[in-house]
Structure 1
Amino acid sequence: MPFADVGEIRCDPERGRVFEHGWQSWSPTGSYRLGETPPRPADRNVQTICYRPETPVPDGVYQGEGLLAIDPGDGPVEVWSAPGPLEVPSIRARREGGRLVVSADGPVRHTRAADLDTALRDWAATTAEGHAPGAFPAVPPMWCTWYGYWDKVTEIDVLDNLRLLERHGLTADMILIDDGYEAGIGDWLDPRPGFGSLERAVDAVTGTGRRAGIWTAPFLAGHQSRLHREHPDWMVGGAHAGRMWDQDLAVLDVTHPDAAAHLVGVFRAFAALGITHFKLDYLYAGALAGRRHEDLDPVAAYRRGLELVREGAGPDATLHGCGAPMLPSIGLVDIMRVSPDIAPTLHPRSGDISQPSQLGARLTGAAREFLHARWWVNDPDCLIVRPEVEAREEWAAHVEGSGGLRGSSDPVAALDAWGLETTRRLLTPTRTDPS
């Protein structure tokens, strides 16, 4: 659908601000002054992986995905938003003299509020009605392999940190084995030769009374994977999910009966090992346009994919979204990453704050704090506070200020006295009241 004008508002040129809500977990989100250029993708690959690929933003235009709010600086905040989570228009604002003219490529709802915080909380509550659960029980803290071991993690690393968590009294209730255990992107049940035994690692975790978690990117298939090589007919035609892990990425067609059965089977196999927490990453891929076996629009196909994951994982499993389209995920995940990845560095190497950095994670995470316990349990990303982490005190303060998931991802042996004390203090359950 082409963009059509849906409203306009006069703004104070000095005090007016525009709030853009990003498409998915890693998409920058925040409030910007008139004339300020909001964050934009560094290149086409980043546009695909971290922004909304089908609607790149023209120069000089503000754009929100499902939500654009304008504070004129001298009156009520005006909000243009998606009518619900199943249809998510891109909403733009362009300057014409002293006015902002708002346009959208789909139906929108127009509301007003006294201030931006009220506008965002009201929008989140209204959008959740009929889709999100009414309450969000506390989620215990976790420890994750990713930011200490990256994709070279081993079974021994998991066992070593289990012992050190016990020794130092760090109360991580769940151990998340992140990327690096698998043979390839899409080959989730095939072990990477250097990892060791996933079954032994999971047994060791559950043997201590903790829950075991696993990472996947369920809608991706790397071109080097066995899945892609053996089942090219299971891929969404014409869909390119970008390039990562030194390979191009295809999209699993969850509307293909055999691909759907495969996806359910993967998660049933993990559940049979005793895994109950599922980190679902790079979920944006499931909502990419392309030729599918069944004629479903991308958002409907994405939601079906998450329903299949739930079928395999079981009704009591915890589904933890990341890199995920925000509105289309409401009601289908228990926990959601609401920011780009953290990194040991303060600034992203490319300057694009959708990329891993402390700055990007803090800015977008703070801007989306209002979603916690309204749509899901927020995940602000893991606490990392070993000495090499830049501005680690500021990152710890950001995590402490969030009501969401508390997770540590330092190798416990790498923590100094301050890092241990801070990690011990912050590993607490999530807050159950909305932020």
Structure 2
Amino acid sequence: MSHSFTPVASVPVDARTARVHEEGWQSWSPSGAYALGDQPYRPTNDNWATVCYRPGVTVPHGTFQGEGLLALDPGDGSAARLWAAVDPTREVPSIRLAVTGDLAEISADGPVKEWTGTDIQEALRAWAASLEVAPPRPAPTVWCSWYEYFTQVTEDDIHENLRAMDTLDLPVDVVQIDDGYQKALGDWLTLSGRFRSRRGIADAIRARGRRAGIWTAPFLVDPASDLAAEHPDWLVKAPTRSDGGFLHAGRNWGHDLSVLDTTHPEAAAYLTDVFRTLRAEGYDYFKVDFLYAGALEGVRHSDANPLTAYRQGIELIREAIGEDAYLLGCGAPILPSIGLFDAMRVSPDTAPHRRPEADDHSQPGQDPAEFTGAARQWQHGRFWINDPDCLMARPAVETRERWAAHVEATGGLMASSDRLLSLDPWGVETTRRLLGGAR
């Protein structure tokens, strides 16, 4: 894509009351409406720019920028205007707005079309409806291990919470094992020392009348994994190959990350085998995370552009798990994912605390999750079921009442992520009510 911006529109605005909606690149990228005098949220370091924003894209100071989508309420009583990618699953131009005096100048580095609405949210909803995406299936209710145990989850933790669901009479459809069961990113079928049998635990979950779910980050590879050591040709190469280096997908879990090249036939066959195996073991709910990596610019086995390679990778996963399995995307490029998922995380991670520990609104915290989650409510029921991230109702969670109210207000995917025996009466009642209301 060219990065030269051409003028699209010039719109008179009332600088005191006008609002601009920026659509961020992926799940964790801040998205929302700003006054013209606001400073929009931007990455605070190069790593977060890669992991949580649109990599390689910088925005001039004093400029608003949406990735494939930007909307303006001029503030003077006239209609809201929206500019969007012509075909958002294939090409996602950056769209900029800069204010000069009482004029908003809109420009883009690719083709866009314009929509109008009575206000920004109405314009967003109208544009979403115009894409005619099939309505999503209702979401199951979920218990997820992440926000209590993080990467240290054990098989015994899953069994304890499975028993507690019965004891506390919680309406949980899916018990989802999150990050920590696997030996390494990429080595999905090799267990960490904390788990004995993936099939055994799926059997135990299903024996109690619930469904088994599992987390993967299918496009990420730990450079220290067996996969990276044995199949370096399966990894996406850096665009500048003078050193023969691999594409760097940022740093997390304390180490650098590589990217699986799903356009390589053998890598595609491996990923297909991973998901067919998990499905055969009894898992039918799949959270696929850190999906931004599949859409990064790099040198792949085929000459498919990054967005085509990304969509083909997700379609490969869907084919392996079957149409009846439930697929939740996270850390995913938003517009290129239209039509691929049952549910989608539409915000940064939440956390047991309100504000991100880093001064970056893409980082975990209830405030960033609320800001972007509320701003993307227009996507719910039109592209997918929105996932606002998990309910945490245990006493140790800051402002747990406010966070529960946000999760409930979205009407989206309802997932609990507490050690259930740590819940007090308020926590049990709130978890039961939110999960029960989702049915």
TM range (shorter): over 0.9
SS of the residue 1:267 aligns to: helix
Q: Look up the match of 1:78.
A: 81
SS of the residue 2:215 aligns to: strand
Contact 2:139-2:343 at 8 Å conserved across structures: no
Q: Look up the match of 1:235.
A: 235
TM-score, normalised by the number of residues in structure 1: 0.96
The superposition leaves residues 360-404 of structure 1 with CA deviations (integer Å, 9 ceiling, x where unpaired) of 111111111111110011111110011111111100100110121
Contact 2:136-2:384 at 8 Å conserved across structures: yes
The superposition leaves residues 294-329 of structure 1 with CA deviations (integer Å, 9 ceiling, x where unpaired) of 111110000000011112112211111000001111
TM-score, normalised by the number of residues in structure 2: 0.96
Of 318, 334, 351, 2:342 maps to 334
CA-based RMSD of the aligned residues comes to: 1.1
User: What displacement does 1:67 show?
Assistant: 0.6
User: What displacement does 1:429 show?
Assistant: 6.0
The superposition leaves residues 52-93 of structure 1 with CA deviations (integer Å, 9 ceiling, x where unpaired) of 012121211101011100111011111111112221111111
Q: Look up the match of 2:431.
A: 423
Contact 2:352-2:365 at 8 Å conserved across structures: yes
Matches within 5 A, 1:340-355: 340-355=348-363
**Alpha-carbon separation, structure 1, partners of 2:438 and 2:33:** 26
Q: Look up the match of 1:118.
A: 122
Structure 1's unaligned 5+ residue stretches are: none
**Alpha-carbon separation, structure 1, partners of 2:188 and 2:205:** 19
Contact 1:406-1:428 at 8 Å conserved across structures: no
Structure 2's unaligned 5+ residue stretches are: 239-246
**Alpha-carbon separation, structure 2, partners of 1:54 and 1:42:** 14
SS of the residue 2:436 aligns to: coil
User: What displacement does 1:36 show?
Assistant: 0.6
**Alpha-carbon separation, structure 2, partners of 1:149 and 1:354:** 22
Task: Judge which range, 154-163 or 96-105, deviates more.
Answer: 96-105
User: What displacement does 1:330 show?
Assistant: 1.1
**Alpha-carbon separation, structure 2, partners of 1:429 and 1:216:** 28
Contact 2:44-2:360 at 8 Å conserved across structures: yes
Contact 1:221-1:250 at 8 Å conserved across structures: yes
**Alpha-carbon separation, structure 2, partners of 1:60 and 1:211:** 49
**Alpha-carbon separation, structure 1, partners of 2:69 and 2:437:** 30
Contact 1:383-1:396 at 8 Å conserved across structures: yes
Contact 2:82-2:123 at 8 Å conserved across structures: yes
The superposition leaves residues 71-119 of structure 1 with CA deviations (integer Å, 9 ceiling, x where unpaired) of 1101111111111222111111112222111111110001221111211
Matches within 5 A, 1:20-169: 20-74=22-76, 75-86=78-89, 87-127=91-131, 129=132, 132-133=133-134, 135-169=135-169
The superposition leaves residues 255-304 of structure 1 with CA deviations (integer Å, 9 ceiling, x where unpaired) of 11101101101000101100001100000000000111111111000000
Contact 1:139-1:429 at 8 Å conserved across structures: no
Q: Which amino acid aligns with 1:37?
A: Q
SS of the residue 2:395 aligns to: coil
**Alpha-carbon separation, structure 2, partners of 1:136 and 1:258:** 32
Matched, 1:208 2:216: no
Q: Look up the match of 2:394.
A: 386
Task: Judge which range, 193-202 or 257-266, deviates more.
Answer: 193-202
**Alpha-carbon separation, structure 1, partners of 2:348 and 2:438:** 20
User: What displacement does 1:430 show?
Assistant: 4.3
Of 406, 411, 415, 1:407 maps to 415
**Alpha-carbon separation, structure 1, partners of 2:88 and 2:329:** 16
Q: Look up the match of 1:259.
A: 267
**Alpha-carbon separation, structure 1, partners of 2:407 and 2:116:** 31
**Alpha-carbon separation, structure 2, partners of 1:73 and 1:213:** 46
Matches within 5 A, 1:179-190: 179-190=179-190
Q: What percentage of residue pairs aligned between the two structures are identical?
A: 54
Contact 2:137-2:342 at 8 Å conserved across structures: no
**Alpha-carbon separation, structure 1, partners of 2:20 and 2:301:** 40
**Alpha-carbon separation, structure 1, partners of 2:196 and 2:422:** 23
Contact 1:5-1:104 at 8 Å conserved across structures: yes
User: What displacement does 1:138 show?
Assistant: 2.0
**Alpha-carbon separation, structure 2, partners of 1:27 and 1:430:** 27
